[in-house]
């Protein structure tokens, strides 16, 4: 967005003369980011208004002339080829050293004193294009005619043409949350607060109402249109706008069209409030309806494109058809043209979300929609329509106000009042600002302040009440940016770093994950939802997948799909693990809500290990991994082993598992071990964990038990038992006696037999 310094000065008086760089820095440090600041008068430095006092032929060139030009303090003789050059004519004269652009060239060149066909020229009488100035009356190959300008000879051209201005390019991203800054008036209000200078009152010319035409406005959808103002102006003539207005629009990136449209665009740039003008004669009657689109309605917009509308879109219509897409673009049917004699000027506040959705669906973003979709202040609509009437009557004195100013405002917004503690604000700013200055800053920004320190009530002004300022934290930024970020020292807060209490269960899970990934296992995550008809399972009231309406009670039920899928994919070796919660019908430890007395179902953590390999003893590997985790984490698990499609799964409940905080050092054994192997045939259904537990409790001399072969078809299992004493070398008789006890115990308890 482009901003003119001269227009800003119409609303607020600067405390001193600002350079382009200084002005950009002020706004960047306090309000918005300025991408670029261009000083127009610098481009025209050295170009002045001159009066041609004498003309004579060039002695050596028929198409060139020698002109004497009065530039105030002196006369210069220059060579000129302008076809429209005349004595007494006011011209733009570029003195030596000025930057100019020659015909047909894009680069700017420094003008030097030169000799043309043997005659010295002390400057250059310029055409408009050579100075990159808009001139609608420019003559082809002719010089700029300034005869109607009142400037005295020697006056800088930038001053004579009103081009002694600074144009700021504002980064639109920095004002996307500030709809009040999409016009000069809003930025001037900010500068008024920064400079502590009064904001000039824009309501200085009252509108004289008329009853010649009875204008009617009806808002059928107040959710989509908060306010709508309209007024009829008659006795109009459509012609090109004055040069000052055309040049202002061009410098701000807009194309001049005609006096009425140019005024609506200029006021939009001044106040940030889009306006629209309808040709009254092209409407069925002076009745405006703000409504939603009816089924099948279309409109040809002023860009000549037919737009298909849907019933979610808001339009401005007469009694026959839509005449404009609200907040986006007007229709060609009621467009202002050379024959227009009376117009309805519209100034409205449209719903931001509706405007954004309409513009998006139509693929039609305009200057108007860019502003409406930010959420404009309804009070701005009133200021803008008054200013538009003032300008039209100024440009066209014969224009007549032909109706009352209609103001439909069905839903006046409620005031936002924020409780602010000044001590709280000071702590968060990190610096001491006198309380009086804090309140003064807020008041300068337009906030109402009531109450006494430290607790005050802050009333948000209408132009900041569109969702920008809603809570005390928002006021911190307001105070800080006006006070000056550069005054706040960047000091880091001091606080004691206390380590949080250890969560042993979480640390155990992290350690298990670390160990398994390091050993080449792959972690998987499966959904907690399972299928099946089981009254013990917890059923979801609103399941994501209706085929799986239950919560799992073990990890095997949800991991099995992934495991079988990996097998079907042809993988010869699979090592997968999952750490996840299961859901049990018993009451757990977590409350259903913060103030509830009910508890959620028990949700303990489980570990599942799944392994498959055609060429390796997978059960031994699985059991070895479980023992490895136990050894590395100082835990003791009670794994549940289960077979699946030639592979093995081990599920371990981690809830309540005790861990050893410190690892104790065990010295290397001093005495040799005795190893005995045992092969048994065991009945179906007997688990290895049961056999292991039974053997382990028979004698303290048993140091380790390790399975080395499983023959599943015959129910055969082979394992080694390691015997050792920490005090002496064991005798064979001692070992054999324990072996006899082991065999007898397994035969009695499990009906096992020696193979």
Q: What is the DSSP string of 158-176?
A: HHHTT---EEEEE-GGGGT
Q: Give the model's confidence band at 634: pLDDT under 50 very low, under 70 low, under 90 confident, else very high.
A: confident
Q: How many whole angstroms separate alpha carbon 252 and alpha carbon 385?
A: 21
Q: How many whole angstroms separate alpha carbon 33 and alpha carbon 101?
A: 32
What local confidence, expressed as pLDDT, does residue 593 receive?
Answer: 74
Examine the pLDDT at 5 and tell me if it is beyond 90: yes
Residue 114 CB: number of other CB atoms within 10 A? 13
What local confidence, expressed as pLDDT, does residue 494 receive?
Answer: 78
Examine the pLDDT at 107 and tell me if it is beyond 80: no
Examine the pLDDT at 51 and tell me if it is beyond 90: yes
Fold topology of 2-41+166-195: Phenylalanyl-tRNA Synthetase; Chain B, domain 1 (3.30.56)
Q: Domain ranges in the chain?
A: 2-41+166-195, 45-160, 216-408, 417-487, 504-653, 674-754
Q: How many whole angstroms separate alpha carbon 704 and alpha carbon 361?
A: 74
What local confidence, expressed as pLDDT, does residue 522 receive?
Answer: 93
Q: Give the model's confidence band at 605: pLDDT under 50 very low, under 70 low, under 90 confident, else very high.
A: very high
The residues pairing with 473 across neighbouring beta strands, listed in sequence order, are none
For the record, the structure tokens of 669 come out as 């054994």
Examine the pLDDT at 182 and tell me if it is beyond 90: yes
Residue-wise pLDDT for 585-599, tens only, equals 888 777 777 677 788
Q: How many whole angstroms separate alpha carbon 443 and alpha carbon 551?
A: 58
Q: Give the model's confidence band at 105: pLDDT under 50 very low, under 70 low, under 90 confident, else very high.
A: low
Fold topology of 45-160: OB fold (Dihydrolipoamide Acetyltransferase, E2P) (2.40.50)
Q: What is the largest CA-CA distance in the chain?
A: 140
What local confidence, expressed as pLDDT, does residue 662 receive?
Answer: 62
Q: Is 303 exposed, middle or buried (0-12, 13-18, 19+ CB in 10 A)?
A: exposed
Q: Which segments of 619-735 are extended strands (E)?
A: 640-644, 647-653, 674-681, 702-711, 716-723
Q: Give the model's confidence band at 445: pLDDT under 50 very low, under 70 low, under 90 confident, else very high.
A: very high
What local confidence, expressed as pLDDT, does residue 590 receive?
Answer: 78
Fold topology of 674-754: Alpha-Beta Plaits (3.30.70)
- As a whole number, the mean pLDDT across the chain is 90
Q: How many whole angstroms separate alpha carbon 217 and alpha carbon 233?
A: 16
User: What element of type H or E holds 125?
Assistant: strand 123-125
Examine the pLDDT at 104 and tell me if it is beyond 60: no
What local confidence, expressed as pLDDT, does residue 206 receive?
Answer: 65
The residues pairing with 116 across neighbouring beta strands, listed in sequence order, are 119
What is the four-CA torsion angle of 300, 366, 239, 130, rounded to 10 degrees? -130
Q: Is the four-CA dihedral 134, 137, 140, 146 of positive or negative sign?
A: negative
The residues pairing with 460 across neighbouring beta strands, listed in sequence order, are 416
Examine the pLDDT at 579 and tell me if it is beyond 60: yes
Predicted model pTM: 0.67
What local confidence, expressed as pLDDT, does residue 731 receive?
Answer: 93
CA distances from 275 to 142, 213, 263, 269 (A): 38, 20, 9, 10
Residue-wise pLDDT for 482-493, tens only, equals 999 989 888 777
- Token pair 């200021």 is found at 383
Q: Give the model's confidence band at 715: pLDDT under 50 very low, under 70 low, under 90 confident, else very high.
A: confident
Range of weakest confidence among 270-279, 380-389, 470-479, 650-659: 650-659
Pairing mode, if any, of strands 573-581 and 584-591? unpaired
What local confidence, expressed as pLDDT, does residue 591 receive?
Answer: 76
Select the more confidently predicted residue: 481 or 710. Answer: 481
- What φ, ψ does residue 112 adopt, rounded to 5°? -115, 155
The correct answer on CATH 3.30.930.10 for the domain covering 504-653 is yes
Examine the pLDDT at 383 and tell me if it is beyond 60: yes
The correct answer on CATH 3.50.40.10 for the domain covering 216-408 is yes
Q: Give the model's confidence band at 537: pLDDT under 50 very low, under 70 low, under 90 confident, else very high.
A: confident
Share of the chain above pLDDT 70, in %: 97
What local confidence, expressed as pLDDT, does residue 63 receive?
Answer: 87
Residue-wise pLDDT for 188-200, tens only, equals 999 999 999 999 8
Residue-wise pLDDT for 652-708, tens only, equals 999 888 776 666 677 888 999 999 999 999 888 888 888 998 999 999 999 999 888
Mean pLDDT of 567-571: 87
Q: How many whole angstroms separate alpha carbon 330 and alpha carbon 279?
A: 11
**In sequence order, what are the residues at sequence separation of 6 or more whose Cβ sits closer than 8 angstroms to the Cβ of residue 288?**
215, 216, 217, 218, 228, 230, 316, 317, 318, 344, 346
Fold topology of 417-487: Phenylalanyl-tRNA Synthetase; Chain B, domain 1 (3.30.56)
What local confidence, expressed as pLDDT, does residue 44 receive?
Answer: 86
Q: How many whole angstroms separate alpha carbon 80 and alpha carbon 241?
A: 31
The tally of CA atoms less than 13 A away on the side-chain side of residue 356 is 9
Say if CB 88 and CB 148 are below 8 A apart. no
Say if CB 293 and CB 309 are below 8 A apart. yes
Per this entry, what is the length of the chain? 755
What local confidence, expressed as pLDDT, does residue 733 receive?
Answer: 93
Share of the chain above pLDDT 90, in %: 63
Q: How many whole angstroms separate alpha carbon 692 and alpha carbon 686?
A: 11
Q: What is the DSSP letter of 334?
A: G
What local confidence, expressed as pLDDT, does residue 535 receive?
Answer: 66
- What φ, ψ does residue 717 adopt, rounded to 5°? -140, 140
Same fold, 2-41+166-195 and 417-487: yes
- What φ, ψ does residue 394 adopt, rounded to 5°? -70, -45
Residue-wise pLDDT for 297-329, tens only, equals 999 999 999 999 999 999 999 999 999 999 999
Residue 440: asked if its preceding bond is cis (omega within 30°), the reply is no
Mean pLDDT of 508-521: 94
Residue-wise pLDDT for 200-233, tens only, equals 876 555 677 778 899 999 999 999 999 999 999 9
Mean pLDDT of 566-572: 87
């Amino acid at each position: 967005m482009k901003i003119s310094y001269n227009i800003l000065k119409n609303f607020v008086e600067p405390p001193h003369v600002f350079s382009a760089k200084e002005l950009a820095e002020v706004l960047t440090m306090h309000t918005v980011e300025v991408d670029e600041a261009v000083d127009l008068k610098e481009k025209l430095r050295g170009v002045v208004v001159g009066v041609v006092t004498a003309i004579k032929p060039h002695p050596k060139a028929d198409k060139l002339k020698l002109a004497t030009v009065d530039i105030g303090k002196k006369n210069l003789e220059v060579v000129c080829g302008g076809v429209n050059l005349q004595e007494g004519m006011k011209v733009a004269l570029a003195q030596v050293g000025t930057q100019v652009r020659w015909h047909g060239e894009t680069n700017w060149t420094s003008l030097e004193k030169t000799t043309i066909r043997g005659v010295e020229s002390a400057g250059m009488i310029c055409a408009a294009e050579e100075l990159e100035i808009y001139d609608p009356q420019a003559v082809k190959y002719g010089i700029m005619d300034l005869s109607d300008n009142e400037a005295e000879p020697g006056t800088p051209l930038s001053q004579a043409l009103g081009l002694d201005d600074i144009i700021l390019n504002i980064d639109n991203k920095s004002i996307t949350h500030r709809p009040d800054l999409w016009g000069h008036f809003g930025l001037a209000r900010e500068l008024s607060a920064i400079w502590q200078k009064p904001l000039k009152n824009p309501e200085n010319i009252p509108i004289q109402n008329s009853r010649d035409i009875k204008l009617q406005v009806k808002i059928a959808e107040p959710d989509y249109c908060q306010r709508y103002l309209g007024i009829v102006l008659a006795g109009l003539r459509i012609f090109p706008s004055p040069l000052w207005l055309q040049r202002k629009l061009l410098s701000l990136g807009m194309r001049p069209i005609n006096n009425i449209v140019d005024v609506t665009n200029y006021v939009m740039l001044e106040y940030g409030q889009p306006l629209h003008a309808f040709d009254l004669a092209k409407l069925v009657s002076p009745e405006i309806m703000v409504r939603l689109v009816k089924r099948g309605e279309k409109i040809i917009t002023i860009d000549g494109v037919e737009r298909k509308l849907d019933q979610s879109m808001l339009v401005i219509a007469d009694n026959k058809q839509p005449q404009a897409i609200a907040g986006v673009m007007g229709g060609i049917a009621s467009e202002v043209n050379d024959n227009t004699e009376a117009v309805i000027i519209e100034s409205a506040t449209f719903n931001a979300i509706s405007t954004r959705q309409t513009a998006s669906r139509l693929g039609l973003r305009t200057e108007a929609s860019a502003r409406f979709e930010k959420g404009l202040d309804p009070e701005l609509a009133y200021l803008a329509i008054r200013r538009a009437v003032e300008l039209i009557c100024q440009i066209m004195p014969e224009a007549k106000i032909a109706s009352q100013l209609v103001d439909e405002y069905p839903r006046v917004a409620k005031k936002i009042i924020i409780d602010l503690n000044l001590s709280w604000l000071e702590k968060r700013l990190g610096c001491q600002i006198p309380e009086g200055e804090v309140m003064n800053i807020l008041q300068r920004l337009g906030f109402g302040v009531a109450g006494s320190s430290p607790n005050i009530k802050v009333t948000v002004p209408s132009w900041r009440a569109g969702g920008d300022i809603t809570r005390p934290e928002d006021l911190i930024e307001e105070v800080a940016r006006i006070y000056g970020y550069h005054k706040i020292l960047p000091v880091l807060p001091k606080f004691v770093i206390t380590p949080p209490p250890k969560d042993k269960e979480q640390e155990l899970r992290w350690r298990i994950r670390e160990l398994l990934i390091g050993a080449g296992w792959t972690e998987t995550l499966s959904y907690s939802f399972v299928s099946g008809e089981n009254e013990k399972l917890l059923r979801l009231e609103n399941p994501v997948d209706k085929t799986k309406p239950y919560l799992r009670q073990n990890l095997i039920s949800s991991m099995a799909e992934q495991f079988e899928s990996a097998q079907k994919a042809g993988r010869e070796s699979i090592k997968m693990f999952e750490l996840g919660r299961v859901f049990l019908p018993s009451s757990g430890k977590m409350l259903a809500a913060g103030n509830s007395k009910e508890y959620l179902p028990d949700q303990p953590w489980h570990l599942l290990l799944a392994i498959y390999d055609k060429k390796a003893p997978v059960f031994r590997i699985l059991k070895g991994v479980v023992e490895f985790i136990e050894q590395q984490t100082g835990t003791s698990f009670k794994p549940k082993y289960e077979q699946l499609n030639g592979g093995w799964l081990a599920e371990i409940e981690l809830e309540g598992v005790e861990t050893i905080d410190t690892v104790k050092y065990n010295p290397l054994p001093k005495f040799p071990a005795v190893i005995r192997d045992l092969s048994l045939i065991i009945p179906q259904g007997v688990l290895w964990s049961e056999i292991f537990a039974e053997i382990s409790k028979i004698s303290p001399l048993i140091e380790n038990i390790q399975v080395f072969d499983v023959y599943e078809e015959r129910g055969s299992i082979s394992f080694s038992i390691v015997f050792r004493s920490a005090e002496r070398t064991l005798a064979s008789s001692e070992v054999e006696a324990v072996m006899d006890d082991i065999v007898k115990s397994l035969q009695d308890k499990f009906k096992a037999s020696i193979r």
